[in-house]
A and B are shown apart, each in its own frame.
Chain A
Amino acid sequence: MSALLDSLGLLLMDPWALFLCLSGVVVGLIFGALPGVSSTMSLAVMLPLTFGMSTGNAMMFMLGIFFSSVYAGSVSAILLNIPGTPGAMVTVLDGNAMARKGRAGEAMTYALIASLFGGVLGWIILVTTAPVIAAYALKFASPEYAAVVFFGLALVAYASSGDTLRGLLAGALGLLLGVVGRDAITDVPRFTFGTAELQGGLDIIPLAIGVFGIAEALTAVETIPKTAAALPARMGRLFPGRRALLAETPTAVRGSAIGAFVGAIPAAGSAVAVALAYALEKRISRTPEAFGTGVPRGIVAPESANNACVGGALIPMMTLGIPGDSITAVLIGVLLLHGLRPGPGLYESQPEFVATVYAALLFAIVFTGLVAGTFGLRGFNRVLLLPRRILLTGILLLCLMGAFSVRNSIYDVWVAIAAGGAGYAMSRMGVPVLPLAFGVVLGPILEENLRRTLMIHKDWTVFLERPISLTLILISFAVLLGPLIWQAARSFVQRGSEGGKPR
């Protein structure tokens, strides 16, 4: 706690760090508000700008983008009936219904306050639980680490969009890309095809820029609207009243708790959290039929959940080195770029840096509230009228120049373009790209721990003899095979009951 207070104090005294966080927030608000630009894409295209920054400042900038873009997804959901980010897909239902009734201003205020509430609750959960998990994870040996990585990949393959089998394909492909280059232990080249560029392996940054930046821009090109965005004619009043806001507190608490919990599960992501939070509110409501007609609860639940996800997603990243979602996969890329590998060791060796991350997220929440609260509707109205040709052109150029600036090499630009084309083709084939990115990040960790385990214990059964690794492996197989067995059992029962019916 004292390290956190020290970090907060130090960052408050550092105008450059505060400026970077504020800039990140502004960038995130603009990108997040625009339909078709996800938070992951925003981070991927802005990542190269962090090359010259210190690690702490890079996190201030990136977490500013992360938090504010997640909130800003609600803007186009409310005003245009198009979710700006996947986490805002449920906000569309009641947010836009409210806007169509001439209460867009109120809907925006509910979304902002719920987002800030969710962000703060997610932050508290991160700050209180992450050190406990990290302290426990410090006791892990190589078999447990290998099992944790396997568990993370199993969850990602299961939870990613598409289906589990295709998710596994993407995960295996990502792990294979992760082993390209010279082996760290024996210095033997693997899948380098005799080229000098591949000897050092594939860098995660150009891959992330391609898969999350170029591929998403290619998708956006296909879906570019033929007509200009139509904003609501009347915005109405902004402040719904203190009593009305306070009445939504229990909803915000429930939404935030769901968001933080779901966010901490690798790959579950904000889309799952908002759907769960909305479904829960509708289920316990005395007037479930009112949902979808413009009730504040239908905005507060998903908005608190998706912003609480931010803190939740940082828990597995900071404590285990496993990305909580695609955005934290990009954040891991930032840390690796700066020579830091996230995980429990970070809590032991770099407690000041961990405190800086916590403080950066808190600043991002505060700045989001200040900027969105001050410029709110006026600013977003202008952003939403920005021609998409300028936006997409800018994003694609940023991707090219950003990939080049990784190592000042055209080779990285080619990698980004190839990854972009591959990522786009994968999404068209229904193969999720998230497990691919996870595989690239986790591949080296899996290999290191797998080989270390086998070198020390000389036997594969060690994974089944240690309780933590055994539990994780069993859960992983349950996650992967459970749905298949359940589906087979259901179709067997259905067939049985259909066969038993008299004709």
Chain B
Amino acid sequence: MIRRDPAIASREARRDLAAGAFSVGLAACLAAVHFRQAGRLHDDYGAEPGPALLPEILLAALALIGLALLLRGFWIGRIAGLASREQKEIGSAFGRASLVVLGLLVAAMFLQSATGFGIAAATASALLAILLARQELRSLPRAAIEGVLVAAILYALFRFILGVPLT
């Protein structure tokens, strides 16, 4: 796991730390939910091991894997030196363009509840096409029209051919 290239080792260490922290955090949160759950989850089912067995094994595994990742991240980071120039590049789990696209998808779902699927899909599609054509400023209006057309074709396919009630 220790890379000879300090930049790569530093990147791997940061990835380990991020994944480890996520894993331990998630295990802790889910364990709190699991052990505080009322009802029959923690009852004794006699010969049957019960519904709590696998979740508890998995939560323990998730926490242990997370701790192992954290330890490895600290260890590699200490050797490689975390103050690498690459830190900024990998600081975020999302690239800017992907984050905007994801935001557009979420916004389209909120818009859908107000306007229905058709208008929301057409709006999101036009904006997505414009975003993806951002390198060529001249083709932006064309991209918007293409986006609306793509949405219309897919909407027609699902609504009228497959009979999906996209309202």
B51-69, CB under 8 A of A: which get 1 and which 0? 1111100110110011011
Binds B, one of A236-244, A367-375, A426-434: A426-434
Binds B, one of A129-137, A410-418, A469-477: A410-418
The residue from A48, A166, A214, A454 contacting B49, defined by CB atoms under 8 A apart = A454
User: When the two chains form their complex, are residues A430 and B12 in contact, meaning their CB atoms are under 8 A apart?
Assistant: yes
Residue tally, chain B, CB below 8 Å to A: 72
Which B residues are in CB contact (< 8 Å) with A189? 39, 41
User: When the two chains form their complex, are residues A428 and B93 in contact, meaning their CB atoms are under 8 A apart?
Assistant: yes
In Å, the complex CA distance between A451 and B56 comes to 13
Interface residues in B100-138 by Cβ distance below 8 A to A read 101-102, 105-106, 108-109, 112-113, 117, 121, 124-125, 128-129, 132-133, 135
User: When the two chains form their complex, are residues B154 and A397 in contact, meaning their CB atoms are under 8 A apart?
Assistant: yes
User: When the two chains form their complex, are residues A397 and B121 in contact, meaning their CB atoms are under 8 A apart?
Assistant: yes
User: When the two chains form their complex, are residues B106 and A389 in contact, meaning their CB atoms are under 8 A apart?
Assistant: no
Which B residues are in CB contact (< 8 Å) with A414? 109
Which B residues are in CB contact (< 8 Å) with A413? 109
Which A residues are in CB contact (< 8 Å) with B108? 400
In Å, the complex CA distance between A455 and B163 comes to 46
User: When the two chains form their complex, are residues A392 and B128 in contact, meaning their CB atoms are under 8 A apart?
Assistant: yes
Which B residues are in CB contact (< 8 Å) with A451? 48-49, 53-54
User: When the two chains form their complex, are residues A398 and B154 in contact, meaning their CB atoms are under 8 A apart?
Assistant: yes
Q: Does A271 contact B (CB under 8 A)?
A: no
In Å, the complex CA distance between A219 and B101 comes to 11
Taking chain B's interface residues, is the majority helix, strand, or loop, or is none over half, making it mixed?
A: helix
User: When the two chains form their complex, are residues A429 and B61 in contact, meaning their CB atoms are under 8 A apart?
Assistant: no
Q: Does B28 contact A (CB under 8 A)?
A: no
A159 to chain B, nearest CB (A): 17
A482 to chain B, nearest CB (A): 15
**Which B residues are within 8 Å of any A CB, using their own CB?**
1, 12, 15-16, 18-19, 22-23, 26, 30, 33-34, 37, 39-41, 45, 47-55, 58-59, 61-62, 65-66, 68-69, 72, 90, 92-95, 97-98, 101-102, 105-106, 108-109, 112-113, 117, 121, 124-125, 128-129, 132-133, 135, 143, 146-147, 150-151, 154-155, 158, 162-166
**Which A residues are within 8 Å of any B CB, using their own CB?**
48-49, 51-52, 163, 165-166, 168-169, 172-173, 175-176, 179, 183, 185-186, 188-191, 193, 214, 217-219, 221-222, 224, 226, 387-390, 392-394, 396-398, 400-401, 404-405, 408, 410, 413-414, 417, 420-421, 424-425, 428-431, 443, 446-447, 450-451, 454-455, 458, 487
Supply 19 A–B pairs (Cβ within 8 Å), ascending by A: A52-B162, A163-B1, A173-B23, A175-B58, A176-B62, A190-B51, A221-B98, A387-B146, A393-B147, A394-B154, A397-B150, A404-B166, A413-B109, A421-B102, A424-B93, A428-B92, A429-B93, A450-B54, A454-B49
Q: Can you list the 4 inter-chain pairs with the closest CB atoms, starting with the nearest?
A: A389-B132, A183-B51, A425-B93, A218-B98
